[in-house]
Structure 1
Amino acid sequence: MSDIQSPKESNTPVSPRVAKTDEQWRTELTPEEFQVLRKAGTERPFTGEYWDTTTEGVYECRACGQELFTSNAKFDAGCGWPSFFAPLAEDRVRYIRDSTLGMVRVEVRCAACDSHLGHVFEGEGFNTPTDQRYCMNSVSLRLKNT
């Protein structure tokens, strides 16, 4: 998705501030969390904890606790995953070109620990300030009530 204005695609490896081995992550995360966060898996739609939540708060990375999105940026995209029109700040996430599954997408990762969060899409016609949909996995997030 080369036309996404705000997110910058990058295949350049970065050094995460939180660096752990797979064995360390396995002891801290459930098997489902590990599969999604560390192996770029995807939870099934309409099954995650936050896909239809309207509770106010801040969504943080389930792996490292970095604040990523606010409930003010969350909207109902009807896709079965939590959707946001923008991250809390651009430096909270990083973007990677993802050409798996026979399509080109932009993967979104936590900038602090390099955990997989989901994908960002653009130009789908949602009535949001950015016309972007950050389609995140619930299992990658934890809602902190404010």
Structure 2
Amino acid sequence: MRKSLLIAVSAVALLLTSCKKNESGNKSVIKMDSSETVITDHNGKIDSLTQSSSTIEVDGKKTEKTDFVYKATDGTLVKVVFKNDPKENTVAITSNKKTFTLPKTETKNGETIYKKDDMTARVKGDSLHLEQGNNVIELKRTKI
């Protein structure tokens, strides 16, 4: 039941977040970027839970991505990627080949809240509560 609920929530969120691709200008011109990119992996202190973390620096601005594997109460595995960059902080939740990206809206009492339209993700410690309407899916960070 929870697996079908997760699939239904994922499908509805995908429909709500899909957008039209708008391309304009000359498509045959390739713009060259002269900025230098430095990629550094953080392998010094590894969390006891499965995670992958990397920092990318472009023109002195750092972008950090941290990947985790979460497990739903029905046993479904979900990939969660936290992205922190100078422009925005987001969480991307991938399940059943569908990804939902939610921007960070607030942090209070040790809980970080990400929200887009009617979908909300609440992260506190190793727990992630995904809410959409009356549907609530509880996820826990896990080892693979």
Identify the TM-score tier after normalising by the shorter chain.
Answer: under 0.3
Which of 1 and 2 has greater Rg? 2
| Structure ranking higher on relative contact order (CA contacts 8 Å, 6+ apart) | 1
> 1 or 2, which has the higher strand percentage?
2
TM-score normalised per structure 2: 0.25
Structure having the larger proportion of residues in helix: 1
Q: TM-score, normalised by structure 1?
A: 0.25
